[in-house]
Amino acid sequence: MKILAIHNFHRKGSASGDDQVFNSETSLLEEHGHKVIRYSVTNDSFDKAGIFDKIVSTFGMLWSFKNYNAIQKIIRDEKPDIVHVHTFFPLLSPSVLYAAKDAGLKVVATLHDTRLICPCATSLRSNQLCNRCGDGRYLRMCKYKCFKGSVLQSFLVGGIFTFHRLRRSFFKKIDRYICLNDNQIQLLSDIGFDPNKITKKYNFVPDTDVDISLKSEVILPDRYVVFYGRLGEEKGIRTLQKIWENLSDIPLVVMGGGPLESEFAIWSKNYEQVYYLGYTQHDKCLAIVKNSEFIVFPSIWYEGCSMVEIEAECLGKSLVATNLGFSAEAIEDGVNGYKVPLGEVEKFIEVIRKLWNDPEKAQRMGLNARYDYEKKYMPNENYEQLISIYKSTLCEEIQLPQNRNVIDGL
């Protein structure tokens, strides 16, 4: 099978989950003998552009003629069987969906976040869950400065999504949605997406050997708990800080970078039990995680299918996480981890202390986590699911509207 895979990469060094999934999934397809044509852009190109090109790119977020034409040319030249779109915002624009459909191809889209409901993709407003824009009235974003705290940027993004909501772009130009958890499916169904076009498929991580000796390159306590990943508001960094302000006797190792890294680095210096290592090379990071007692993950947004969580399970580590999004269905209380209600700092403290004081239970739960990984998140099973999705999408009959007066778009 020949697959055209399309993705808008985040900035270099962001280590975003959707970037990781795009790379690992396309490589997996190639390992199984399929031809993958990759088409991608990166947000770094916007940062490096001059003022004129930035203006052009900003308008191109509504409709990118450049990317529309490029996709059409690739389709003419390569004749792929199917198109798989991962992230299209901001630079690719929904024009890539139209390019594929105008060429008569089926389109599969992996929804790595809640962007089709919330244009900011986080479903957060002032660090509180918010899905009000699911009704399509995106311009309310201006009132709350939802996009990067700016009225102007909120207006631009709200306008883009309003235009495509009116055109029904995301309803009509995608043949199959790959969702990453049940919560995501429910959110989409609630605002009118066809549940018959939605399939759930988890992400995967390869099963790799970890060199524990790499951990010795960093001086750490014999026992510790780990948080690793992006240091952003949505990951619950504020909650993490509040937890460890009350856990002076339990060492915490934090690895990763992001918008809050400078602030977190300053905060961590006030607490002897907190070891902030910043960005850590992946193999060293995994060695440190492998040697930990368990992982804490106090996210405050709807995680899609957290690569951190499934990677932790791969390493045989249990999780203490917020009972939200992917974690709500991935964790079975007392079996492979514990779930804590959103934002309940005292409950997090209670559960973390309980597990810390029972290392044998933490180890048993880690073994259960490893079993859960082997059952759900390994590459070969993921490949079979993905190919099945492609084949079933290609075999679907094109359903014409019963009302022949219906116009596709405006």
- CATH code of the domain covering residue 164: 3.40.50.2000
Q: Is 407 within the bounds of a domain?
A: no
pLDDT for the residue 13: 60
Same domain, 28 and 163: yes
* The pLDDT value given to residue 138: 97
Same-domain status, 384 and 358: no
Distance separating alpha carbons of residues 140 and 132, to the nearest angstrom = 9
**How many residues appear in the chain?**
410
Max Cα distance, the chain (Å): 71
Going by C-beta distance under 8 Å and a sequence separation of 6 or more, which residues neighbour residue 232?
A: 258, 259, 260
Same domain for 171 and 255, yes or no, is no
pLDDT of residue 402: 38
Residues 170 and 281 placed together within one structural domain of the fold: no
Cα of 365 vs its chain's centroid, Å: 25
Q: Flag whether 32 is in a domain.
A: yes
- Do 160 and 249 have their domain in common? no
The identity of residue 399, as a single letter, is: Q
pLDDT at 14: 62
Overall pTM > 0.85: yes
Domain match, 145 and 225 both: no
Residues 146 and 113 in one domain: yes
Q: Are 57 and 46 in contact (CB under 8 A)?
A: yes
Share in percent of the chain as helix, strand, coil (round to 5): 45, 15, 40
38 and 172 together in one domain: yes
Within a domain: 339: yes
Measured CA to CA, the distance from residue 117 to residue 189 in angstroms comes to: 11
Of 28, 44, 133, 46, whose CA–CA distance to 84 is shortest?
Answer: 28
My answer on whether 91 and 183 are in the same domain is yes
The torsion region of residue 323 among left (phi > 0), alpha (psi -120 to 50) and beta comes to beta
* Bridge-based pairing state of the strands 124-125 and 128-129: antiparallel
Residue 7, domain extent: 2-204+380-395
The answer on 333 and 297 residing in a single domain is yes
Long-range (24+ apart) CB contacts under 8 A made by 98-101 are 98/68, 98/169, 98/173, 99/67, 99/68, 99/69, 99/71, 99/72, 99/75, 100/4, 100/71, 100/75, 100/173, 101/173
34 burial level (CB within 10 Å; 0-12, 13-18, 19+) = middle
- Radius of gyration, alpha carbons of the chain: 22
Q: Which residues of 262-288 are buried (b: 16+ CB within 10 A; e: fewer)?
A: eebeebbeeeebbbbbeebeeebbbbb
The owner of tokens 């492998």 is: 290
The rounded distance, in Å, linking the Cα atoms of 187 and 201 is 16
Q: Name the domain count of the chain.
A: 2
Domain annotation covers residue 173: yes
**Closest listed residue to residue 225, CA positions, set 361, 371, 359, 333:** 359
Predicted confidence at residue 141, as pLDDT, reads 97
Are 154 and 293 in the same domain?
Answer: no
Q: Report if residue 152 sits inside a domain.
A: yes
Residue 402 lies in a domain: no
Full pLDDT tens readout for the chain, 410 residues:
999 999 999 877 666 889 999 999 999 999 999 999 999 999 988 778 788 777 888 889 999 999 999 999 999 999 999 999 999 999 999 999 999 999 999 999 999 999 999 999 999 999 999 999 999 999 999 999 999 999 999 999 999 999 999 999 999 999 999 999 999 999 999 999 999 999 999 999 999 888 877 777 789 999 999 999 999 999 999 999 999 999 999 999 999 998 999 999 999 999 999 999 999 999 999 999 999 999 999 999 999 999 999 999 999 999 999 999 999 999 999 999 999 999 999 999 999 999 999 999 999 999 999 999 999 999 999 999 999 999 999 997 544 333 333 323 32
Within-domain flag for 404: no
Q: Considering the domain boundaries, does residue 400 fall inside one?
A: no
State whether 264 and 224 are in the same domain: yes
